[in-house]
């Protein structure tokens, strides 16, 4: 099962403040523990929303809305993508994420990633299933030009 641990933004991350050297060290140790356990698929921090854009759909053409975005509670500061055996294991890993000193208001979200195996067989044509499988294979085994 794949899960995404989403680190929520704060006024500090939105202002572009860099984490303390201690927090960077703690995050590195956390990431190393994920690697040692064989569960880490990806982990990245994100720039402030002032460097982001939203694509909004409605009548007519999609609309691009440039950041910054007003609602800090909706901002994502970073993420980890992990593969574990259960939701409970994912929660255990999320609870280990280092939080900065005085981290009141810091929040994480844990979302299970939808897998093609979760789709009812009747949802996919054989051709679509084949194409989806090829996409996944190319992600797992990128060619020499990647």
**Cβ count near 13 (within 10 Å):** 23
Average pLDDT, the chain: 88
Q: Has residue 144 got a pLDDT over 90?
A: no
- Of the segments 17-26, 63-72, 84-93, 124-133, which one has the largest average pLDDT value? 84-93
Q: How far apart are CA 123 and CA 133, in angstroms?
A: 15
Q: How far apart are CA 129 and CA 26, in angstroms?
A: 41
Q: Where exactly are the structural domains of the chain?
A: 2-113, 119-146
Specify whether the CB–CB gap between 110 and 42 falls below 8 A. no
Joined together, the tokens standing for residue 28 give 């590195």
Decide: helix, strand or coil at residue 53.
Answer: strand
pLDDT in tens, 71-121: 766 789 999 999 999 999 999 999 999 987 666 666 899 999 988 777 777
- pTM comes to 0.83
- 2-113 is classed in which CATH architecture? 2-Layer Sandwich (3.30)
Joined together, the tokens standing for residue 47 give 């720039």
């Amino acid at each position: 099962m794949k899960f995404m641990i989403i680190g929520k933004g704060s006024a500090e991350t939105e202002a572009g403040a860099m984490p303390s050297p201690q927090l960077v060290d703690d995050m590195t140790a956390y990431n190393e523990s994920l690697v040692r356990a064989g569960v880490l698929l990806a982990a990245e921090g994100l720039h402030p929303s002032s460097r982001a854009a939203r694509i909004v759909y409605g009548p007519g053409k999609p609309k691009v809305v440039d950041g910054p975005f007003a609602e800090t509670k909706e901002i994502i500061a970073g993420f980890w993508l992990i593969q574990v055996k259960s939701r409970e294991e994912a929660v255990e890993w999320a609870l280990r994420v280092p939080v900065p000193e005085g981290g009141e208001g810091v929040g994480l979200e844990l979302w299970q990633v939808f897998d093609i195996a979760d789709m009812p067989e009747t949802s996919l044509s054989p051709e679509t299933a084949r194409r989806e499988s090829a996409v996944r294979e190319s992600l797992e085994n990128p060619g020499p030009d990647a």
